[in-house]
Amino acid sequence: MHILIIGAAGMVGRKLTQKLVKDGKLGERAIDALTLADMVTPDAPHGFEGKVTLQTADLSAPGEAARLIGARPNVIFHLAAIVSGEAELDFAKGYRINLDGTRYLFDAIREAHDVDGYKPRVVFTSSIAVFGAPLPYPIPDDFHTTPLTSYGTQKAICELLLSDYSRKGFFDGIGIRLPTICIRPGKPNKAASGFFSNILREPLVGQEAVLPVSDDVRHWHTSPRSAVSFLVHGAKIDVETVGPRRNLSMPGLSATVGEQIEALRRVAGNKAVALIRREPDEMVMRMCAGWAPGFEAKRATALGFEAETSFDDIIRAHIEDELGGALQ
Amino acid sequence: MHILIIGAAGMVGRKLTQKLVKDGKLGERAIDALTLADMVTPDAPHGFEGKVTLQTADLSAPGEAARLIGARPNVIFHLAAIVSGEAELDFAKGYRINLDGTRYLFDAIREAHDVDGYKPRVVFTSSIAVFGAPLPYPIPDDFHTTPLTSYGTQKAICELLLSDYSRKGFFDGIGIRLPTICIRPGKPNKAASGFFSNILREPLVGQEAVLPVSDDVRHWHTSPRSAVSFLVHGAKIDVETVGPRRNLSMPGLSATVGEQIEALRRVAGNKAVALIRREPDEMVMRMCAGWAPGFEAKRATALGFEAETSFDDIIRAHIEDELGGALQ
């Protein structure tokens, strides 16, 4: 089978590529072709014996979507988006990339469907940003999507399109509402939510990290490993069992910052915890107050999506996947 | 003040125009200009002393929205849409008119806002079609929007845009989720939901009407008069009291077909009821099963939106507004 990943150069895209290459198959079917597309040319994966095509593509440019699906990939992972902060700063760009880009893709598939019956699986990464405060805890599966960011609005709109295009039979769509990914590998970044990862990742390698909020802030997390597993499961799942409501809040782990820190203490000791420097930041605290504290995720759990059940496991996943399996 | 009605030639648009002309003001402010726009040229209203501009406009044509708001109307009622059946039959047209048209309008306002600080009130007619089965009864205000038609999807998307553009300060938007309008004046039409009105309107003037479903079908209704009152109230309401969730399920009356018929009996007697001919239609019954049975509408009620509380009142409103106040 042929798999297309749009947004393959990002963190999740790279990890998804690695996972697919390692497995060599999706469900029962061998993967014989991979097309990796992004605004910057993705790296070629190591160890894949099938055909690899690397594409530099801006999905929001007319015609690009039709080109990307020209070879009729069986499964399309659509991960491409500009992030929340950028979509908030540049309103028009956010709508162009995150909404129009997705719609061009969906319409290109629809037009191909009308020509030759093409009907791929489309796995779309949505986000818990489709929800906006005030939020209950836990958030039930049937809670309304009232985003408080343009990014969340764009994701919620794409979810609606995904369901409607699936209902009309143009493709088999599954929308995956990812929790906040923790521990996000790499360097500390400027995302307001970055501290959830920073306070674990940096101390694990002996570096200081700044905690801008109080210990009782509760949020919804999953590891990069689980995020990838959600996408792969979403590509395999029988859509008949999903029904017409194609967008699923994924399982995850609801934890306070204090619980994160205690997990760090259990896994890496007091020395690691001592590297967390508390520097309260009013603005980040205000933003945090609107973020999702946790979900019931009953539907996704019943459909076989699985996530970590303790922060110790999330930290250990990071040590295995990013630090060679052991602390220095 | 200057009021623009887009979709002014439709049933609700005409009744809204009449109401505004009759009142002569909106809240405390006198209406001195009315612009009426639609795909077909709207009729000029009788008895309005201010300036009337009639526009033939296709909102989905680029540039039309900027032209419509050229004179910077203070309030814009956006009622324009193709109906559910047509949006389902012509997928591309539905998205072009119902989604792109609305987005062109919102973006034209945003661009005007960026130029000169323009910030009108925008009252948008949404629909209970943003909800899709299975639905609880009553449907709470925080229930998710999972439409099962392209029309409902387009309305749900426009709701999200309305909230986001309002949040960013480009305009003050209010989305009004209208119940099914009953008794719809005019001739019986082909809409699958038409029977809710037909079985009352036709017998009231001595004509036969066909009932394609069983008496226990429950649905959510409001009179044309109340629908107009919702729009007018939405144009006056203090948006600070509404908060960031700008789309409101309106109050209405939840009633079974049997309850509708008993109200007809009370108002117009057994002779009228005898004109209802039962002709069960499997397809209509299947469609009905997915329609909204009723809403809590707590937020809208708290915000001062009001509707009829008995079907007798809905029938009497029709007799007053459409039949000169008395049965023949």
Q: What is the pLDDT of residue B192?
A: 84
- Residues of B within 8 A of A91 (CB-CB) are 110, 168
Contact status, residue A178 vs residue A293, Cβ threshold 8 Å: no
pLDDT given at position B52: 98
Continuous segment of H or E residues that includes residue B145: none
User: Could you say which of A145, A161, A167 has the minimum Cβ distance to residue B144?
Assistant: A145
Residues of chain B with CATH 3.90.25.10: 192-220+253-294+308-322
| B44-65 tens-digit pLDDT | 999 999 999 999 999 999 999 9
- Separation between Cα atoms, residue B125 and residue B135, nearest integer Å: 21
| Tens-digit pLDDT profile for residues B162-216 | 999 999 999 999 999 999 999 999 988 777 899 999 999 999 999 999 999 999 9
Burial class (CB in 10 A: 0-12, 13-18, 19+), A89: exposed
Which residues in chain B touch residue A141, judged by CB atoms under 8 angstroms apart?
A: 144
CA of A155: which chain B residue's CA is closest?
B160
Q: Which of B95, B106, B135, B142 to mutate to test the interface with A (most CBs of A within 10 A)?
A: B142
Q: Is A151 a catalytic residue?
A: yes
Q: How many CB atoms lie within 10 A of CB B133?
A: 12
- Cβ pair B91:A150 closer than 8 A: no
**Run of H or E including B28:** none
Contact yes or no for B164 and A145 at CB 8 A: no
DSSP state string for B186-245 = SS--S-GGGHHHHHHHHHHTT--EEE-S-TT-EEEEE-HHHHHHHHHHHHHS-HHHH-S-
Q: What is the mean pLDDT of chain A?
A: 96
Positions of B marked active-site:
151
Angle at which helix A195-204 crosses helix A311-322, to 10 degrees, equals: 60
Nearest CA in chain A to B92: A107
pLDDT-derived band at A190 (thresholds 50, 70, 90) equals: confident
Instruction: Average the pLDDT over A191-214 and give the result.
Output: 95
Q: Residues of A near B (CB-CB distance < 8 A)?
A: 91, 110, 132, 141-148, 150, 153, 156-157, 160-161, 163-164, 167-168, 244-245
Measured in angstroms, the CA of B160 and the nearest CA of chain A are apart by 6
Q: What are the E-state strand segments in B241-325?
A: 247-249, 253-256, 276-278
User: Are B144 and A143 inside 8 Å of each other by CB?
Assistant: yes
CA distance B149 to chain A (A): 7
CB contact under 8 Å between B161 and A157, yes or no, is yes
* CATH superfamily, region B2-179+223-249: NAD(P)-binding Rossmann-like Domain (3.40.50.720)
Residue B56: strand, helix, or coil:
strand
CA-closest candidate to residue B236, choices B327, B291, B303:
B303
Q: Before B293, cis peptide (omega within 30)?
A: no
CA-CA distance, B182 to B314, in Å (whole number)? Answer: 7
**Band of residue A152 on the pLDDT scale cut at 50, 70, 90:** very high
Closest residue in A to B162 (Cα–Cα): A153
Percent of chain A at pLDDT > 70 equals: 100
Are the beta carbons of A244 and B145 separated by less than 8 Å? no
Phi-psi region of A117 (alpha: psi -120 to 50; beta: other; left: phi over 0): left
DSSP result, B267-282? HHHHHHHTTEEE---H
Confidence category of residue A187, pLDDT binned at 50, 70, 90: confident
* Nearest residue of chain A to residue B136 (CA atoms): A142
Question: In B, which residues are within 8 Å of A96 by CB distance?
Answer: none
Chain A CB contacts of B141 under 8 Å are 144
Rounded Cα gap, residues A145 and A71, in angstroms: 35
Chain A nearest C-alpha distance from B22 (Å) = 36
* Of A95, A118, A137, A151, catalytic: A151
In this complex, do B160 and A145 lie within 8 Å of one another by their Cβ atoms?
yes
Over 90: is that where the pLDDT of A166 sits?
A: yes
Q: Delimit the CATH 3.40.50.720 region(s) of chain B.
A: 2-179+223-249
Structure tokens at A325: 């399996």
The alpha carbon of residue A269 is apart from the nearest alpha carbon of chain B, in Å, by 43
Residues in chain A within 8 Å Cβ distance of B132:
244
What CATH class does A2-178+224-249 carry? Answer: alpha beta
For residue B88, the chain A residue with the least C-alpha distance is A168
Find the CB nearest B132 among A143, A150, A244: A244
| CA distance readout (Å), B194 to A40, B19, B188, B210, B273 | 54, 24, 7, 10, 17
Cβ distance A91 to B168 less than 8 Å, yes or no, reads yes
Q: Which of A114, A231, B288 is nearest to A106 (CA)?
A: A114
Please list, residue by residue across B13-39, b when 16 or more beta carbons sit within 10 angstroms of its beta carbon and e when fewer do.
bbbbbbebbeeeebeeeebebbbbbbb
Contacts of B189 (CB under 8 A, 6+ apart): none
Q: What is the pLDDT of residues A79-120, one digit of tens each?
A: 999 999 899 999 999 999 999 999 999 999 999 999 999 999
Instruction: Give the mean pLDDT of A63-78.
Output: 98
CATH topology of domain B192-220+253-294+308-322: UDP-galactose 4-epimerase; domain 1 (3.90.25)
* Residue A205: predicted pLDDT: 97
A153 contacts B160? CB cut-off 8 A? yes
User: Average pLDDT in the A175-200 region?
Assistant: 92
Asked if A153's CB is within 8 angstroms of B157's CB, the reply is no
Q: Give, for all 328 residues of chain B, the pLDDT tens digit.
A: 999 999 999 999 999 999 999 999 999 999 999 999 999 999 999 999 999 999 999 999 999 999 999 999 999 999 999 999 899 999 999 999 999 999 999 999 999 999 999 999 999 999 999 999 999 999 999 999 999 999 999 999 999 999 999 999 999 999 999 999 999 999 887 778 999 999 999 999 999 999 999 999 999 999 999 999 999 999 999 999 999 999 999 999 999 999 999 999 999 999 999 999 999 999 999 988 889 999 999 999 999 999 999 999 999 999 999 999 998 7
Q: What is the pLDDT of residue B139?
A: 98
Residue of chain B minimizing CA distance to A141: B144
